[in-house]
């Protein structure tokens, strides 16, 4: 997906009201999320030292924006991609017990993104992490957390409707859980994105389970770095992966709309296995990975929830540039303007 122009698109809110709605939405959702998951807010870094293994590799191909620190003898730092591993360190540092966790406003630069209606160079999301016990590392627990997040989405949708009644609710009562392997069986001739689109349109809100490992056709549903989500542990007979994506049906874009990537994080066994599978066992020598293998980092579940994507969805916007400031090509700006889509 590059640039998609919805037919006869009209913004639901004028620019001044849009800013007020964004503030309301962000405040409401993070309060709901924190209450339902037992999270407290912390302050997050914008950059970390290179070579420590703390930064996330996402699909394993993206390059982090980096720079040298003059006052530290030229030490290298890099802008974060996300905070999956950093958050686990903080759970331990703050001694947060099982059943509780933290969340933060994560801001990142992803220079390799292909810009589109939903992809920007600037990434803003709520990164959250919660301490779990070894017994909670299972599919039922993962589903229970997804349902709590979905409840927070539903409550936020109600608040938006109460204030802006012309933006009517669209989320179904329940979220549907689907294994990535079953999606492949149901739509064997479709691409990954086409499978997601069909399922999201059918159910309205889905959680796709098991993303990162190879499916029966030898391909991955999507890429995942080997050192944060657990995508190798058996979740049910014939299925692997304790992670997934929350995907909604977006009527404005006529497409599936991912708003969260999340999962139970790797333990020592899963980390070792996944590093070997991805051909990077040398990462076990990095400081973060060593700490995990030495039981110095707690077991956890966590994820990221896109702030601008959530605003896009609930305020019925056609482009992420309507709810955040970033950089866009002149061609994209002009095409959007002609369609009544004003980018910030």
Which comes out higher in pLDDT, residue 329 or 62? 329
Q: What count of other Cβ atoms lies within 10 Å of the Cβ of residue 254?
A: 12
What does R_g of the chain's alpha carbons equal in angstroms? 20
Q: Which of 53-67, 249-263, 304-318 has the lowest mean pLDDT?
A: 53-67
Q: Which one of the listed residues 261, 274, 308, 324 is annotated catalytic?
A: 261
The two tokens of residue 148 are 């709590």
High-pLDDT (> 90) share of the chain, %: 84
Can 295 be counted among the known catalytic residues? no
- Where helices occur in 38-171 by DSSP H, the ranges are 84-93, 139-163
Contact 300, 267 (CB under 8 A): no
Can 331 be counted among the known catalytic residues? no
Contact 301, 130 (CB under 8 A): yes
**pLDDT tens-digit series, residues 253-296:** 999 999 999 999 999 999 999 999 999 999 999 989 999 999 99
Contact 212, 181 (CB under 8 A): no
Can 261 be counted among the known catalytic residues? yes
Q: Which one of the listed residues 82, 120, 125, 235 is annotated catalytic?
A: 125
**pLDDT tens-digit series, residues 102-153:** 999 999 888 888 899 999 999 999 999 999 999 999 999 999 999 999 999 9
Task: Using alpha carbons, select from 335, 343, 344, 325 the residue that is nearest to residue 6.
Answer: 335
Can 56 be counted among the known catalytic residues? yes
* pLDDT tops 80 at residue 1: no
Q: Is the dihedral of CA 171, 176, 180, 181 positive or negative?
A: negative
Contact 302, 88 (CB under 8 A): yes
Q: Which one of the listed residues 245, 265, 267, 274 is annotated catalytic?
A: 245
How high is the pLDDT of residue 158? 97
How high is the pLDDT of residue 76? 92
Q: Which of 53-67, 152-166, 179-193 has the lowest mean pLDDT?
A: 53-67
Q: Which one of the listed residues 110, 197, 224, 283 is annotated catalytic?
A: 110
Can 227 be counted among the known catalytic residues? no
pLDDT band per the 50, 70, 90 thresholds, residue 65: confident
Q: What count of other Cβ atoms lies within 10 Å of the Cβ of residue 206?
A: 24
How high is the pLDDT of residue 54? 82
Instruction: Reply yes or no on domain 15-338 having CATH 3.30.70.920.
Output: no
* pLDDT tops 70 at residue 61: no
Can 30 be counted among the known catalytic residues? no
* pLDDT tops 90 at residue 28: yes
């Amino acid at each position: 997906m590059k640039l998609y122009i919805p037919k006869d698109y009209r913004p639901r809110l004028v620019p001044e009201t849009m800013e007020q709605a964004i503030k309301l939405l962000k405040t409401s959702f993070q309060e709901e999320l924190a209450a339902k998951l037992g999270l407290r807010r912390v302050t997050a870094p914008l950059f970390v030292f290179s070579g420590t293994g703390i930064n996330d590799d996402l699909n394993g191909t993206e390059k982090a924006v980096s720079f040298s620190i003059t006052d530290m003898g030229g030490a290298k730092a890099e802008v974060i991609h996300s905070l999956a591993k950093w958050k686990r360190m903080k759970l331990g540092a703050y001694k947060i017990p099982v059943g509780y966790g933290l969340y933060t406003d994560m801001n990142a630069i992803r220079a390799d993104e292909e810009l589109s209606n939903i992809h920007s160079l600037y990434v803003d999301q709520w990164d959250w992490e919660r301490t779990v016990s070894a017994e909670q590392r299972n599919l039922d627990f993962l589903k229970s957390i997804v349902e709590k997040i979905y409840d927070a989405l539903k409550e936020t949708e109600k608040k938006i409707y109460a204030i802006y009644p012309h933006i009517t609710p669209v989320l179904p009562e329940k979220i549907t859980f689907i294994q990535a392997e079953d999606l492949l069986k149901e739509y064997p001739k479709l691409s990954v994105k086409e499978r997601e689109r069909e399922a999201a349109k059918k159910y309205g809100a889905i959680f796709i389970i098991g993303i990162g490992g190879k499916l029966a056709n030898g391909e991955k549903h999507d890429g995942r770095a080997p050192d944060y989500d657990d995508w190798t542990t058996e979740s049910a007979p014939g299925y692997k992966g304790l992670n997934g994506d929350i995907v909604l049906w977006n009527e404005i874009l006529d497409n599936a709309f991912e708003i969260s990537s999340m999962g139970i994080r790797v333990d020592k066994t899963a980390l070792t296995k996944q590093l070997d599978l991805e051909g990077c066992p040398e990462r076990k020598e990095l400081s973060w990975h060593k700490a995990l293998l030495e039981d110095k980092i707690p077991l956890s579940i966590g994820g990221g929830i896109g702030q601008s994507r959530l605003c896009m969805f609930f305020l019925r916007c056609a482009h992420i540039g309507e709810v955040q400031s970033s950089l866009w090509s002149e061609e994209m700006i002009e095409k959007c303007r002609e369609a009544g889509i004003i980018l910030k």
